[in-house]
Amino acid sequence: MKKTILSSFALILAIRVFAADPEFVLGYEYPAAHGKVPTTETFRRMIDILADLGYNQFHLYLKNTFAYTNHPAALKRNPAPVTAEEIRALDDYCAKKGIELVPYQASFGHMEPWLAMPEYNHLAETPKGVHTEKPKLNCGPISLCATDPASISFLSGLYDELLPNFRTKKINVGCDEVWDLLDPNCRSAAEVKRLGAGRVYLNCILKMHENIQARGHVMMCWADMIFLHPELVPDMPKKNIIALDWGYEATSPFEKHGEALKKAGVPFYVCPGTSGWGSLFGRVDNMKKNIDNALAAAKKHGASGLLLTEWGDGNHPQPWIAGLPGIVYAAARAKGEEMDDAKLAAAIDRVTRCTCGEALIRYGNLYLKCGVIRGNGTALYDLFQKASGYKRPETMTEEKMADVFAEWRAAKAVLNLSGAPQWVKDDFELLDLLATAVELRWKGQHDAVMTLAPRYRELWVKQNRPGNIDSSAKHLFRR
Measured CA to CA in angstroms, residue 245 lies from 172, 214, 430 at distances of 13, 24, 32
Which SS3 state, helix, strand or coil, does residue 232 take?
helix
Tens digit of each residue's pLDDT (9 = 90 or more) over 410-426: 999 999 999 999 999 99
Neighbour-count burial for 384-413, b at 16+ CB within 10 Å, e otherwise: bbebeeeeeeeebeeeebebbbebbeebee
Residue spans of the domains in the chain: they are 2-352, 366-476
Region 205-232: what's the mean pLDDT?
A: 98
User: What's the CATH number for 2-352?
Assistant: 3.20.20.80
Tens digit of each residue's pLDDT (9 = 90 or more) over 254-306: 999 999 999 999 999 999 999 999 999 999 999 999 999 999 999 999 999 99
Region 222-240: what's the mean pLDDT?
A: 98
**Reported pTM:** 0.95
pLDDT at 18: 52
Tens digit of each residue's pLDDT (9 = 90 or more) over 351-385: 999 999 999 999 999 999 999 999 999 999 999 99
Closest-CA residue to 296 (of 264, 333, 262): 333
pLDDT at 210: 98
Region 443-464: what's the mean pLDDT?
A: 98
Region 170-194: what's the mean pLDDT?
A: 98
Judge whether residue 4 has pLDDT over 80.
no
Give the CA dihedral 248, 390, 384, 308, nearest 10 degrees.
10
DSSP 8-state code for residue 339 = -
The per-residue pLDDT of the chain, averaged, comes to 95
* Burial (CB count <10 Å: 0-12, 13-18, 19+), residue 449: buried
